[in-house]
Amino acid sequence: MIRYNTSLDLLEALNNNEVGMINSSSISTNNYYQKKEDACKNCNILLNKDIDKYDKIRNQTDERKNYQKEYYETNPQSCKISSWKYQGMILKENEDWESIYIEYLITENCENCNCILTKDKVNTSTMKCLDHDHETGFIRGIICQSCNVRDK
């Protein structure tokens, strides 16, 4: 008798008619699922166990997302600075991250085109961006998304 590691492996085998006891074209839908359930019982695999495991993982994922959202809302400065570092931005000798962050917050107009900057979560042409040289990583200034894309 073949043992399947998970009920998902078994269901895949059943759908591919590898188990041999089910031919989906010759039986009704209810009978088909009953045969799958019986096959799972015969192989000592409980679908509910895998479903519970999936629900637990999904709940952990939701908890993590909620934690990340809450952390970002309570620590916007460290999150923004971390994101800049992750993007490869580098400070010059006389700069520090906190002063760059404060300058980022108080800047209202694009340094290139002088448009009014917005702080949107989605990409808009007037969204505020910290511009940097992609070769050196040094920060150049705070500009709008439109200028940032154009000046790369």
Of 32, 30, 36, residue with least CA distance to 13: 36
Share of the chain above pLDDT 70, in %: 63
Q: Identify the CATH number of the domain defined by range 76-151.
A: 3.40.1800
Backbone angles phi, psi at 89, to 5 degrees: -75, 140
Separation of alpha carbons 13 and 4, rounded Å: 9
Tens digits of per-residue pLDDT, 94-147?
999 999 999 999 999 999 999 999 877 777 888 999 999 989 999 999 999 999
What is the domain partition of the chain in residue ranges? 7-71, 76-151
User: Residue 41 has what pLDDT?
Assistant: 57
* Per-residue b or e along 65-91, where b marks 16 or more CB atoms closer than 10 Å to that residue's CB: eeeeeeeeeeeeeeebbeebeeeebee
Q: What is the pTM of this model?
A: 0.56
Enter the tokens of residue 109. 């107009």
